[in-house]
Amino acid sequence: MKYYIMNTDDTHKNPNFYKKWILENFAYASGYFRSKGVLEKLEKGDLIFCYQKQKGIIAIGKILDKWDGKSHKDHEFYVGRSKEEKNNVYRIKVNWYLDLTQCPIKYSETKKFGNLSFKNTISQIRDEFLAEEILKLGKQKSIL
């Protein structure tokens, strides 16, 4: 099992985009060249942390299937984006088993365990200790 962090890309015009991720049990990415390489590496059972800018980690889930490689061109969430991004929206099935939208894990809380980068759409977390500590914190917060 590998660990990943995925940014919700809240720069689009739909401020509630992340709610659809959790309700639909998918993670979304736009832009073929930015997303394709990483999405192809995701394996069933990998753990993924969903990060929303200025909020923190808002959900934790497990990848349910390999990425299908398909584009969902009519996806309504990427409005106001470049044509390339709107026409290349990808998704991967995720069981978001910890919904932390009401009590997100703040960046300041993760810093005590190590460095975590939120700059890319999706990044692998290679520091297993860091990932496991964030997972523990998520489990604690989800029962509050």
Question: Domain boundaries in the chain?
Answer: 3-142
Q: Which two tokens stand for residue 97?
A: 């088993």
Q: What angle do CA 43, 46, 73 make, to 5 degrees?
A: 60
Provide the pLDDT for residue 29.
Answer: 79
Q: How far apart are the first and last CA of the chain?
A: 27
Provide the pLDDT for residue 66.
Answer: 92
Provide the pLDDT for residue 58.
Answer: 93
Provide the pLDDT for residue 48.
Answer: 96
Mean pLDDT per 10-residue section of the chain, whose length is 144 residues: 86 66 84 69 95 90 92 58 62 94 92 83 91 96 78
Cβ pair 95, 79 in contact under 8 A: no
Provide the pLDDT for residue 98.
Answer: 95
Provide the pLDDT for residue 81.
Answer: 54
Provide the pLDDT for residue 38.
Answer: 75
Tell me phi and psi for residue 34, to 5 degrees. Answer: -75, -35
Cβ pair 93, 79 in contact under 8 A: no
Helix (H/G/I), strand (E/B), else coil: 138: helix
> If you search the block for the tokens 């990808």, which residue do you land on?
90
CATH of domain 3-142: 3.10.590.10
Cβ pair 50, 27 in contact under 8 A: yes
